[in-house]
Amino acid sequence: MYLYLTYSTVQNVLLQHGMAHNAEFLLGARQNHLGRLPNHFKPADLAGQTQALPWHAELSSRAGYDVAAFHTRWNHTAMRQMLGEEAVFATILRDPVSQFESMYNYYDFYKGRVSIHKFIKE
């Protein structure tokens, strides 16, 4: 079992490996991350998505997921609950400045009305 919070290249390798081995993937109904950012992931975040994720109730009740390869705010207890006690966890860390710049652009903070330099100073 795997958990990888990663860039898309490594994520794609994990997804392809999981698909080749009929793995059960822990994923959200709409986005490429688990949970409701900026909060930490918790299983309740997926509980209301039974129409989009009909398998979730059964898999989550028995720690039946095999792979979680999407962005999330780390919650060790929740991941153990979803993936089981034998899951192995790994991550790739980014330089904090580079990560912030990427997040600033990805989420369109202030819709471009405030430069990142002014945003940092305020």
pLDDT of residue 19: 92
Task: Note the pLDDT tens digit of each residue in 35-65.
Answer: 776 678 888 888 777 778 888 888 888 888 9
Q: Is 43 exposed, middle or buried (0-12, 13-18, 19+ CB in 10 A)?
A: middle
Task: Please write the tens of the pLDDT for every residue from 61-84.
Answer: 888 899 888 878 888 999 999 999
C-alpha 70/C-alpha 3 separation (Å) is: 8
Once rounded to an integer, what is the mean pLDDT over residues 95-114?
A: 75
* pLDDT of residue 21 exceeding 90: yes
> pTM higher than 0.75 for the full model?
no
